[in-house]
Amino acid sequence: MITERGKSVYKGVAIGKISVHKSGEQPVKRVHVENIEAEKERFYAAKTKAQEQLKGLYDKALAEVGEANAAIFEVHQMMLDDDDYIESIINMIESQEINAEYAVASTGENFAAMFAAMDDAYMKERSADVKDISERVIKVLTGASDQSMTADEPVIIVADDLAPSETIQLDKSKVLAFVTRHGSTNSHTAILARMMNIPALIGVDYSDDWDGKLAIVDGFEGCIYVEPVKEILDKKEAVRQEELKKRELLQTLKGKENVTLDGQKINLYANIGSLSDVASVLQNDAGGIGLFRSEFLYLENSDYPTEEEQFQVYKQVAENMGGKKVIIRTLDIGADKQVDYFNMEHEENPALGYRAIRICLDRVEIFKTQLRALLRASMFGNISIMFPMIISVEEVQDIKKILEEVKAELKEASIPFKDVEIGVMIETPAAVMISDLLAKEVDFFSVGTNDLTQYTLAIDRQNPALESYPYFRVDHTAIMRMLKMIADNGHAGGCWVGICGELGANMDLLEDFLRMGYDELSVSPTFILPLREKVRNTSLK
């Protein structure tokens, strides 16, 4: 038996045969060409076909994993139109009189190395994307098929890493677990594992001769057992069966209240990134939507989404939720979410730069368009509006002035709307320290614990180099003290308070949140029923 450890990105136990996935990289030879113009045309034709393939992958991802996770394929389409990338390829074909395949491969390697050497975590991740799009163009040029991984039976996928295009083409019914040598907790593979509710490990040093062997992936312990002995196999199978029973039992909690043994209630809402995620919200019996990330509307478009386009989406989600609360966060781009047509300048530290509400207050017409759409949609359900990255009372006051201007414009045009609740995300230390003042301006607080932890602890949460030692401590004393301060100040000022970051799904801290008096937790839909079970078995006395 071989035992290897890694970092778990999703818990659970899977048992099955291993399928070692080899990278689809094509060996490319340097060939001298006589007809330069014809070779350039070959490249342009291949680029166009690659973009058509990516459009197909986007549509497939849209249906399976929602707009937010499908957006990467639109990013890839745009990257293929990057002037610097194209110019490098064309220059190599012209100056060196070489074949398009070799020019694409060389340019891909050069650009990938350039991105990998950057300090910014977002830009580092573009290294893998450049490799992915370059390999796609090479496959078109060589006539190689763009095949997905296939298997006759469900398998454990083991690989160096998986590109977005590889993960989305998988037959999900044939995947038991993911195990990769590289990647991070925010990689595409990790996101897919969470969406599919299957165990996944990263940072595992595997061997090619594992292919076809029986294995156990234990996402609870962060281990993979290859050719396990009977004792381990029996033990882990018992754990797996217990987990299956728990999932079945959780279904019996649908329709039940989120109330502790001593009578304290809490709302359990869901975080979503697209309209298609609403089905999961309803399936898991969430009490509402605590965070609807509206930026997918901007990420999936090649130009600014119109008021009507936004209105239709907000209206549909409000109607689908049948009167349950839907909290929609206004545009939150910048940092790790870049949109080309916004034409934002390069920043040395985008996480601390021009992003979220700062863009909205600077580009007021874009902001007003979204607010008009949101207010119009309020007539079709129970919509609340939430503003991200707040650091001052003045920002909130300016937001409220703009909101009143939009209301006046709608009234003048005889367009109906409701007065909606407004809230702010508490995700900076500054917002925590002035939460007593902010509470006088808004109806609710929602704590974005991911960014709050990052900014408070001075930790880049997307940097895998910081995962080996627990620097990113969600239960850090500083964070817990801040959470208590936010709850106390919010309630004193008449606000209800919630948590919408990943911390909200932490079972070990649930009792702490209840004791602090949090009114709401907003988590991924799959965590709703497990949290409900925990709440109903908790006593605060």
Could you give the CA distance from residue 350 to residue 345 in angstroms, rounded to a whole number?
10
Is position 360 annotated as part of the catalytic site?
Answer: no
Q: Per the residue annotation, which of 188, 223, 360, 495 is the catalytic one?
A: 188
Residue 207 to residues 11, 19, 157, 176, Cα–Cα distance (Å): 23, 11, 13, 19
Cα–Cα distance, 491 to 494 (Å, whole number) = 5
539 phi/psi in degrees, rounded to 5: -125, 135
473 is in an annotated binding site: no
In the chain, DSSP finds a helix count (H) and a strand count (E) of 19, 16
Please indicate if the annotation marks 451 as binding a ligand: yes
Q: Are 161 and 189 in contact (CB under 8 A)?
A: yes
- In single-letter form, the type of residue at position 130 comes to V
The two tokens of residue 142 are 């060589």
Say which of 223, 360, 495, 500 is annotated catalytic.
500
Check if the beta carbon of residue 496 is closer than 8 Å to that of residue 444: yes
Angle at 274 between CA 377 and CA 285, to 5 degrees: 85
Find out whether 461 is annotated in a ligand binding site: yes
Single-letter amino acid code for the residue at 76? H
Element (H, E) at 201: strand 200-202
User: Across 261-353, where does the E strand assignment appear?
Assistant: 267-272, 288-293, 325-329
The yes-or-no answer on residue 188 being catalytic is yes
Helices (H), 378-476: 393-412, 429-433, 435-438, 449-457
Q: What is the DSSP letter of 10?
A: E
Q: What is the DSSP letter of 354?
A: S
450 is in an annotated binding site: yes
Residue 196's alpha-carbon distances to 163, 325, 343, 449, 482, in angstroms, are 17, 26, 35, 24, 33
The CA–CA distances, whole Å, from 468 to 6, 122, 171, 219, 429 equal: 10, 19, 32, 17, 25
Amino acid letter, residue 50: A
3-state class of 423 per DSSP?
Answer: strand
- Known binding-site residues for Mg(2+) equal 427, 451
- Known binding-site residues for phosphoenolpyruvate equal 293, 329, 450-451, 461
- Known binding-site residues equal 293, 329, 427, 450-451, 461
Residues annotated as catalytic (active site), given as ranges: 188, 500
